[in-house]
Structure 1
């Protein structure tokens, strides 16, 4: 059925809709330019109303005051209707504020000078310049007001009816107002700069290296909070482990802590918010003593902290030397701590994704090894066996060595495939015995002597760590013989507090030191050590190459 449209019909809005519509119409624009223009117009309108209802003295200048007020009203209205297109902080706005100074000065002069009713409108200039240019605008406005007051009131001081007290009080009023408004202008400029720094806080590179991530994160936080030293402490929610980082002029100090007693001492302070100043100082002193940070000098008056908590970690950010003591500094510290907490969540996610990708790559590699390399080695072994059977007995010895090497490689590949397919944790294994067996095999394969020392001799480690150490030994031996011509290697494995230290020294020709402090070679070894979360350092270049590898225990 067709509907008829009634002409002239106005739908009735519900009371809530009318109220919302009215609020939209009366909504004040947040533009500071419009605020200044509207404030100027409102002040002039009230001045016109006041002078119309109650004419000012002296009566002889009343017409001039009316004309001047009408011109100033037209000027104010024009700026509201067609505001200038200049940037808000442009120096061209000095033109409009210069008109304000001249207009108000003339009105004050024409209407009883120091006792003029237009004097209360003079601070409008001070407010406008402060809003536009901050503390510099406050200084400019104060100088303009004092010059205007001196120009108008000087004659009033010597005309027989001195108003010195009014002159002094209004001068003091302008100076105090300029100081207070300048303070708020400086705070506004500082907050704008802080907001810009917060907005420019870019994400750190997607890396699982905690020290690289912390250097970028705490360096930006230090500039944002205007503090030279920061202490960040956080604990993993899944276990009694965590980390502590100190950022200062000397750089980053980072420590991973697995001591349960340390975290029992600091667990309450990580979740408590807010924390008293005395408690903050006590916690910082305890952290510095536990980690032996002698340069951690604490001034109780300059310490702030903020708590953060996420799905994977809970912690606290300490600002050790807070130079900014503004009341908003604590809020900024809290925002920074929350951002760091979010970055911790992102780092945990990156690591989880990296572990997942590594597992998937290991599965793919296992499948490829089983379906291609292992099968081809098996085929090659069969052909080698057939060829050896067709040869005389005295000519079989070289092929026997090759056949033994191929059989050992097949055994290792099968073991790798089996370990990769199982999801259960690998059992602990005797490192001394297994590495000694591999050292003997490498000695026969490369024709070199390998002296192995394991301390303590009965050291045990998971099968995954044994596999990684075996690969490190394989690559180091191959590099020493092929590139250095080494005939002897000394390998020493020692257990440290939180990991293992593997030292490998050969008697080869060595290498020429790199111009960089951190050479890229040997690439494969460095990549494997980095994936294990360890460090590799070249301790001697020639004669013979010596390297030190430190890896954490899983």
Structure 2
């Protein structure tokens, strides 16, 4: 802009204003200084950042003097006043935001007022109309720029990559995609990510040099030192001990002195951009080097990449934990189902086979008992197939069934299988419940009746089910041997786990004779 200003003055046929030909000297000196500053800023991001406020101050006073000394007479529309003022305010907006715009505006108004007052005090020629109009324009333009710069929502950044795949199984893919994105977005020669590996003591190191991503594992001593404050990007120069660090609600901070950057030292990089990010497993760091024209304007994008990494890795850890918890719950449910159905059925079948052996030795016809065993085996095979189908297609929680009918069918089978009397007392018929709840209660009944027959040696079991009040209540009473009087009744593990999973309560007490189990389930389950 100074060059254009000087060319405009040189081709203007009118005589230069108050400064005469001295204005050319001022502008020439300014052009030389500007050229030197461009070379410095081009070669060093450090000096470009440190000298920016001083250069802005020089621009302000140089343009004010140039405007004043170049004006001739009343050539108001030939004055570069508005163009140079807009340049200074836009420059402050892009560099520092609304606070710098406000300071630049105050400085321009103050300098113009001082010059105008000085001209008036010494009786020098001044046009009050034009002078007042310029101050008014300057004030309005300053207010507009302060408002516009204050409305900025932050720097724009490229959209972060979205890694496809199943959540919980994408950790390495996320690291590779983000590493490649950072290198390509900043046109860098290379990038590296160091992240902790869960509960293991080592650190995973991924390096992307543009040809391939190399993955390595480092011991706990390889990256000796702190990664620094999370979510804060920085430009670093290890050799010169220089760094510029971003801050949450302020302009970046330039610091000199020794730099603790273990990842950069391990990779043998002297000048780069780094950002530390937090994960559930511990802090990690992203290092990017070989960035052309690297400057503080790149800090927001690097911070965004760091936050993206932190969020995505935490989501993966949560998904992985959820998968592990789901798998553990499935294993526990499968173990309970196998115990309460297959294991108890096989135990009952073993008792019946022993009884059948005695029956045969006594000379009786075993055909009827063998047919009953065959029927029971087919029925248990059907139960196993139904359980396999539920595992394949998932729980059908939206379907409902009549709990009383399900229990009557099951208790009839249990009575025939264990050769005991089993009776159901239901106050409400029908009693619709979800498929999942019906399955759980069927398994509870299987386990309870089998325990009463095997361990309590009972002759009869009475099952009662009712709804109302707090929810669904299931009572299972037998007339067997019960529990020893001098010790508390033991809690069957399988039944306890099922009731707890349903959010209910289990009470076990003596029945005189026998034992009594009472299960209460809340309304939201029943």
| Fold shared by both chains (TM-score > 0.5) | no
Higher Cα Rg: structure 1 or 2? 2
Bigger relative contact order, structure 1 or 2 (CA pairs below 8 A, ≥6 apart)? 2
Larger helix share, 1 or 2: 1
